């Protein structure tokens, strides 16, 4: 991508020389981000938005019925959003859409040649609504509680705990691998709201609650936690035989967790 000042200078240096017969400057690209692909957007704006359709090719149109071949002076642009080439098969795009990490805006940018913005949402709201609807169909309606007689209680659970000392909530989530559905399932969720005037006691809340779940007969396979506030509590649980795993909230780990959530939806 030609995004930096050095890239723009390189583009300027590649000017068409008058000493060559029929010189050409060719650009093969797909759409970019409006905020960063400034040079590409300027070219698109100049030829496609401000140019004229090529009369001989005006019958070739995109998914909105707009011509895809444009001209301005001696410049020409073929800017299409429809996969019309023989190698652009339905099967290929179905596979690409399911590729881990392929977000809707990225799919449209890479495979439909549509401009994207950095303000596009991380998770489309309709995905979230569909996930809620799927949960409601199987009785997953808040508050999510779990009892020993629940069918889910037979599954080994992974507990995840995120904590805050004063000004934010502390939450515990239990998930399991649903063999029948072939996906991660939500088994349990609990949130504690702290008193801003007092230090939150993680042993008497999180620690005690985990032990209560075990006493009820639930199978706790492991506990994943952020060590910033929970280190001492987890050390004590480890001494009692629980398997605990640190998951510090670094940029890398947050990116992995966010991607996992995205792929799950």
Q: Given 111, 143, 174, which residue is the final one in a domain?
A: 111
Residues 251 and 134 in one domain: yes
pLDDT of residue 221: 94
pLDDT of residue 217: 84
152-182 tens-digit pLDDT = 778 899 999 998 877 788 999 998 888 777 7
Omega of the bond prior to 77 within 30 degrees of 0, cis? no
Whether residue 119 is contained in a domain is answered as no
Whether residue 120 is contained in a domain is answered as no
Residues 82 and 146 in one domain: no
Mean per-residue pLDDT over the chain, rounded: 85
CB 223 within 8 A of CB 237: yes
Domain that holds residue 222: 126-264
Residues 72 and 135 in one domain: no
Q: Which two tokens stand for residue 176?
A: 């399991």
CB 140 within 8 A of CB 175: no
Task: Write the CATH number for 153.
Answer: 3.30.420.40
Side-by-side strand order, sheet with 75-78: 52-53, 69-72, 75-78
98-147 tens-digit pLDDT = 887 787 788 888 999 988 876 666 777 777 788 778 777 766 665 566 66
Whether residue 147 is contained in a domain is answered as yes
Domain count, the chain: 2
Residues 140 and 230 in one domain: yes
Whether residue 117 is contained in a domain is answered as no
Residues 132 and 247 in one domain: yes
Residues 140 and 101 in one domain: no
Residues 154 and 223 in one domain: yes
Residues 198 and 224 in one domain: yes
Residues 105 and 132 in one domain: no
SS3 60: coil
């Amino acid at each position: 991508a030609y995004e930096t000042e050095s890239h723009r200078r390189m583009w300027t240096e590649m000017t068409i020389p008058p000493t060559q017969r029929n010189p050409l400057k060719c650009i093969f690209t797909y759409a970019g981000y409006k905020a960063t692909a400034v040079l590409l957007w300027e070219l698109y704006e100049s030829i496609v938005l401000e140019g004229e359709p090529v009369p001989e090719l005006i019958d070739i149109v995109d998914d909105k019925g707009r011509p895809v071949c444009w001209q301005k002076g001696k410049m020409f642009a073929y800017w299409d959003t429809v996969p019309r080439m023989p190698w652009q098969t339905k099967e290929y795009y179905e596979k690409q859409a399911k590729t881990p990490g392929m977000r809707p805006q990225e799919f449209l940018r890479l495979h439909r040649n549509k401009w994207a913005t950095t303000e596009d949402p991380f998770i489309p709201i309709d995905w979230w609504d569909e996930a809620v609807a799927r949960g409601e169909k199987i009785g997953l309606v808040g508050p999510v509680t779990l009892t020993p007689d629940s069918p889910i209680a037979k599954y080994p659970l992974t507990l995840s705990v995120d904590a805050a000392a004063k000004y934010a909530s502390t939450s515990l989530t239990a998930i399991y691998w649903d063999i029948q559905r072939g996906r991660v399932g939500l088994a349990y969720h609990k949130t504690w709201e702290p008193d801003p005037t007092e230090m939150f006691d993680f042993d008497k809340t999180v620690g005690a609650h985990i032990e209560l779940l075990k006493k009820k007969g639930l199978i706790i396979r492991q506990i994943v936690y952020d060590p910033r506030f929970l280190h001492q509590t987890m050390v004590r649980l480890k001494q009692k035989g629980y398997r605990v795993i640190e998951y510090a909230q670094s940029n890398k780990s947050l990116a992995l967790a966010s991607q996992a959530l995205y792929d799950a939806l």
